[in-house]
Amino acid sequence: MKAITFQGIRKVSISDVPEPGIESPGDIIVKVESAAICGSDLHVYHGRETGIDIGTTMGHEFTGIVAEVGSEVQNFKVGDRIVSPFTTNCGTCFYCKKGLTARCEKGNLFGWVSKGKGLLGVHAEYVRVPMGDSTLVSLPDDLSWEQGNLLADICCTGFFCAEMAEIEPEGIYAVIGCGPVGQMAIKAAKYLGAEKLYAIDSIPFRLEMAERNGALPLNFENQDVLDEIQNVTHGKGADAVLEAAGGYEPMKTAFRLLRPGGILASAGVQAYEQFPFSPPDIYDKNLILKAGRCSVRQYLDKLIPLVQKGELQITDVITHAMALKEGVEAYRLFDKEKNVAMKVLLKP
């Protein structure tokens, strides 16, 4: 089958790889109907996340149709429509029972193989899903593959970020990074009741979308963002900052924008070694820091009905749909054309 494989820094290729088969009784083989490139795929693509084996199939966001089931699978049958979290989970370990399925003791991230161990990705025609019964979720017939694809990661991650921020109607909030996750964080914050919400980025295309989603845009290249937030909060700072970019400078800005006792809610993937603020800084500001990987499996049951009822409109972030065979160009586009590319989907 065809797959997009990692071949080195800023290099992927369309490769012929073996079709996956059942390796364990709980496995499910899924025919991929829609996959997406995620900002965290670019961490691998850029070499900021090291250790992935050359030849690893990329990707972790997908929806599809069950093609084959292992002998112990009970919840799914061939032909079922599914959406998958970007990590597998057993459903029974300490972390799964706590709702922290992203840290399942037996789980793996799709698209990460290091020294021969791990799980191949979803930018392929088929994918093997270990622990299929506890990992996969049925995709209702009235939701499109595209809606399911966005629920597989960014919609849930944005909602997770907004919930960490403890949104209240009277609060003043800022979202840093208006890419796909940032847009979803804006939508989630508005859904949760945020009335005064600022969107911070430097790309006009993204800021325009953020404004359509209900945020007040701030372009840090031609505005003093700190002054703007200080002015509207009478010198206090934001009640919470939703950091959706990942990176040293966004975290530094988030810290500066917060009021004492404010919440820094970070859902961006961080790939640097030290915070841009010190332990005394944290102490002096009474900072509340919340961060980490979203446990998508826990959010799907809650968010699928909201999308079904139209209470969350999520597909406006999709700017490109390309064939799997165009994967090399799709990665280049998503990496380099941020003024036009928000979310790039891959179709069989």
Q: Domain spans of the chain?
A: 2-153+295-347, 157-291
pLDDT of residue 49: 66
Q: In Å, how far are 192, 240, 243 from 174, measured between CA atoms?
A: 14, 7, 8
pLDDT of residue 273: 87
Domain 157-291 is of which CATH architecture? 3-Layer(aba) Sandwich (3.40)
SS3 96: helix
CB 5 within 8 Å of CB 121: no
pLDDT of residue 51: 83
pLDDT tens per residue, range 175-217: 999 999 999 999 999 999 999 999 999 999 999 999 999 999 9
Q: In Å, how far are 103, 253, 258 from 281, measured between CA atoms?
A: 29, 13, 12
Residues of the chain with pLDDT under 50: none
pLDDT tens per residue, range 126-175: 999 999 999 999 999 999 999 999 999 999 999 999 999 999 999 999 99
Handedness of CA 311, 316, 322, 328 (dihedral sign): negative
Can you give the length of the chain in residues? 348
Long-range contacts of the stretch 16-24 (C-beta < 8 A, 24+): 17/57, 17/120, 17/124, 19/125, 19/126, 20/120, 20/126, 20/127, 20/128, 21/68, 21/128, 22/68, 22/69, 22/70, 22/128, 23/128, 23/130, 24/70, 24/130
Which DSSP helix (H) or strand (E) runs through 321? strand 318-323
> Which CATH code, of 3.40.50.2000, 3.90.180.10, 3.50.50.60, 3.20.20.140, is assigned to 2-153+295-347?
3.90.180.10
SS3 109: strand
Q: Is 225 left (phi over 0), alpha (psi -120 to 50) or beta?
A: alpha
CA distance 290 to 270: 13
